[in-house]
Amino acid sequence: MARIFYGSCGEGRGHATRVRALVERLRERHEIVVFAFGDALALLARAYRGTRVRVEEIPGARFTYGGSHRVSHVGTVGAAVRYLALLPSLITRLARVIATEKPDLVVTDFEPALPRAARRCGVPVVSIDHQHFLTAEDLRTLPPWLQVLAGIMGAVVSAYVPDASETVVSSFHHFPLRAGVRKVTQIGPLLRPEIRRATPSDGGHLVAYFRRSVPERTLGALASLGVPTRVYGLGARRAQNGLAFLDVDESRFAADLAACRALVTTAGNQVIGEAIFLGKPVLALPEPRNFEQAINARLLAESGCGAWVDPEAVCPGDLAEFLNRLDAFGATICRHRTDGTDAAIAAVERCLPETARKKVSFSPGARSLGGVLTPAVAGRC
């Protein structure tokens, strides 16, 4: 029985979904403390309220958005600069927590402060995320302009989590590893319990998942199909033209995804991986100026499990063409259904000190960090 600290990026829900997939398995035999912010904090604090898993709030940097639903590069850089200014003091505070509570291992899903504090205290670090495909995989098949941007983003990713004992890259589809890359394991998507338990069927509806906002032309194109569509991510509102707008709820979303004909979504790696596992073709609408999503969209098309369209130029014909190709996508999906959860658990166990497996679990009930951090408020295959 080991004590594991787990840090999660809070941008979007994909990071938190991966973290939850692993925590659900790890907490069966280990003591887990999760550190998160933003969307991840909200999801994980709610999921583990009243359990032995403790969730603590930490600061973090996030994307900012400007007009036309685009990522604001200036605003995002400004947020990053403000975060970097407080990062040294945050690392010092986390190092004190580590020195006091003595975790055996730190796991990070693209959260930079906790692994730095762990290295300062001599605690091993495992990185499990999607973003490290930018540093580990050979991206030469991408368009030249996207290769350049991937190189810039890769430098940022390398700076986020330096010197991990092992790096695990979770993705629905992989590029080959670069020559000479070591200590990197490529695995499939990490699947939360609701997805693993689901029985796929075809209920005749579509599921749409967006983050924060989406161009009205996209909603208009969806409505024009005449197919009932359950829209998540934009909040609950009055139904219109066959579109039902629902608050994000993990269990309900998983059930709707398992029973849908196909998924229309922003191009996040995690949700695409979940859909493919359930045998659902995907139409990806990568967020403008979100270059990671641009790469994910091209990976999706390369895999043959779906297609992608520019959300600022999407028209009813694009969606109709996607629906006409569902059978072809479905035949390909059967060859791409993967679950990387067991491989990720194995990586964590490999990096645990031998002595950690002999420890006795602590008594349940969250303990205060003494004011160091702010505690979180509680069918085709």
User: Is 283 domain-assigned?
Assistant: yes
Domain count, the chain: 2
User: Is 381 domain-assigned?
Assistant: no
229 with 351, same domain: the answer is no
245 with 163, same domain: the answer is no
181 with 294, same domain: the answer is no
User: Is 380 domain-assigned?
Assistant: no
88 with 206, same domain: the answer is no
Tell me the pTM.
Answer: 0.87
19 with 160, same domain: the answer is yes
260 with 350, same domain: the answer is no
CA distance 267 to 283: 9
366: number of Cβ within 10 Å: 18
146 with 233, same domain: the answer is no
User: Is 179 domain-assigned?
Assistant: yes
Distance linking the first and last C-alpha atoms of the chain: 38
pLDDT tens-place string over residues 78-106: 656 677 778 889 999 999 999 999 999 99
Which of the residue ranges 65-79, 151-165, 229-243 would you say has the lowest mean pLDDT? 65-79
180 with 328, same domain: the answer is no
Q: Domain range for residue 35? A: 3-190+339-375
User: Is 10 domain-assigned?
Assistant: yes
140 with 281, same domain: the answer is no
176 with 49, same domain: the answer is yes
Scan for tokens 């940022």, then name that residue.
156
User: Is 216 domain-assigned?
Assistant: yes
Which of the residue ranges 22-26, 64-68, 121-125, 149-153 would you say has the lowest mean pLDDT? 64-68
Which CATH number is 205's domain given? 3.40.50.2000
Asked whether residue 66 carries a pLDDT value surpassing 70, the answer given is no
150 with 208, same domain: the answer is no
- Residue environment code for 263-278, b if the CB has 16+ CB neighbours within 10 A, otherwise e: bbbbbbbbbbbbbbbb
